[in-house]
Amino acid sequence: MPRPEGSDGRGDPDALHAPTAPGSTASVVVLVSGSGTLLQALLDATTDPAYGVTVAAVGADRPCHGLERAERAGIPTFVRSVRDHSDRAAWDEALAADLAAHDPRLVVTAGFMRILGPRSLAVAPVVNTHPALLPSFPGAHGVRDALAYGVTVTGTTCHLVDAGVDTGPIIEQRVVAVEPDDTEDSLHERIKVHERELIVQVTGLLAREGFTVQGRRVRVGRA
């Protein structure tokens, strides 16, 4: 569902994103940059008609294994590389057109390693998963930074995307304990298990039941 012109979907108390009509499915576009394990979790979930979500397309900013997963599933793909455009604004405009062509109810960034610009963010609400308990440890090295800081728990966060880096309203979080002998890789692998579960859960809930954004709170359903 496209946002109203000039709205970022956060501060408007009337920013209701309606639920999917009974008997229909919500169209979602997934953006990836890497192996596509989060994407695969979504693809697996969509095989159940009760899930209520269809992946309409998968886009990437580079050739990657995630695109191969989509192609094997018969899902349309596209690549929109920043290097193919004169500047980031031109890339953002082109990416927005790619997204809008599929009329998505939601866009899911599943390991997508680019910051979306204002035009892309205006197409539909964007859901992201981050491997830390935001607002702590935002950015590309959330697992490494949490481990270096010496926390005893970290986790994963699903949030709506805004113009900042991992600063959008939080939808749901899962806690993961840090073990004394953890490395960045071992901790990240345990977090990924929860990330996959959470992105499937959150995407399905938002699509099926709709949601309202009030300030920094995301409320599932009409209430």
Give the E-state strand segments of 33-137 in sequence order.
53-60, 77-79, 106-109, 126-130
Is position 38 annotated in a ligand binding site?
Answer: no
Two tokens, residue 14: 């009337």
Domain finish residue from 124, 148, 183: 124
Within-domain flag for 19: no
Where in the sequence is the domain holding 215, given as residue range(s)? 128-223
The two structure tokens encoding residue 215: 């300030």
Asked if residue 17 is part of any domain, the answer here is: no
The catalytically annotated residue of 65, 85, 102, 130 is 130
Task: Give yes or no: residues 135 and 120 share one domain.
Answer: no
pLDDT recorded at residue 17? 84
Tell me whether residue 114 is annotated as binding: yes
Q: Is position 77 within any domain?
A: yes
**Which 8-state DSSP code applies to residue 34?**
S
**101-105: Cβ within 8 A, 24+ apart:** 101/57, 102/27, 102/29, 102/56, 102/57, 102/76, 103/27, 103/56, 104/27, 104/28, 104/29, 104/56, 105/1, 105/17, 105/20, 105/26, 105/27, 105/28, 105/207
Token readout for 167 is 């600063």
In a domain, residue 80? The reply is: yes
Annotated ligand binding at 1? The verdict is no
Predicted pLDDT of residue 121: 98
Are 63 and 110 part of one and the same domain? yes
Does residue 116 sit in the same domain as residue 180? no
Domain contains 38 = yes
pTM of the model: 0.91
As for how many domains the chain has, the answer is 2
Is 3 among the domain residues? no
CA angle 97, 125, 106 (to 5 degrees): 75
Distance CA 148, CA 194 (A): 21
Q: Which residues of the chain have pLDDT under 70?
A: 1-16, 222-223
Q: For strand 217-220 and strand 211-214, is the pairing parallel, antiparallel, or unpaired?
A: antiparallel
* Tens-digit pLDDT profile for residues 23-45: 779 999 999 999 999 999 999 99
* Known catalytic membership, residue 188: no
For residue range 107-148, list pLDDT tens digits in order. Answer: 999 999 999 999 999 999 999 999 999 999 999 999 999 999
14 located within any domain? no
Residue 154: give its domain's CATH number.
Answer: 3.40.50.170
**Residue 163 placed within a domain:** yes
Q: Are residues 59 and 109 in the same domain?
A: yes
